[in-house]
């Protein structure tokens, strides 16, 4: 995955899910959890860092869960 700010390559430096033990960026996991745990607990938050030092977090869900969330939001 490329950096969202500068476009350079990046790497995953840490991976968490809602049941992970507390770490330095527990707040980011909690924020992500609030977005999707109404539908599923099967979520992974990854901390990414690019070669220029920019840091961001990505949220990963199963495709079926995303489809279900969209379907439910329409009703």
Domains in the chain: boundaries: 10-73
pLDDT at 52 over 90: yes
pLDDT at 57 over 90: no
Mean pLDDT of 13-19: 82
pLDDT interval class at 35 (50, 70, 90): confident
Count Cβ neighbours within 10 Å for each residue of 33-62 and write b for 16 or more, e otherwise. Answer: beebeeeeeebbbbbbebeeeeeeeeeebe
Residue 19's pLDDT is: 75
Mean pLDDT of 21-25: 65
How many CA atoms are closer than 13 Å to the CA of 43, on its beta-carbon side? Answer: 22
Highest mean pLDDT among 5-14, 39-48, 64-73: 5-14
Distance CA 19, CA 44 (A): 10
């Amino acid at each position: 995955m490329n950096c969202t700010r500068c476009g350079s390559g990046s790497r995953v430096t840490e991976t968490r899910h809602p049941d992970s033990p507390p770490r330095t960026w527990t707040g980011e996991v909690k924020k992500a959890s609030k977005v999707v745990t109404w539908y599923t607990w099967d979520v992974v938050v990854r901390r990414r860092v690019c070669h220029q030092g920019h840091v961001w977090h990505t949220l990963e869900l199963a495709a079926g869960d995303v489809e279900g969330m969209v379907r439910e939001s329409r009703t």
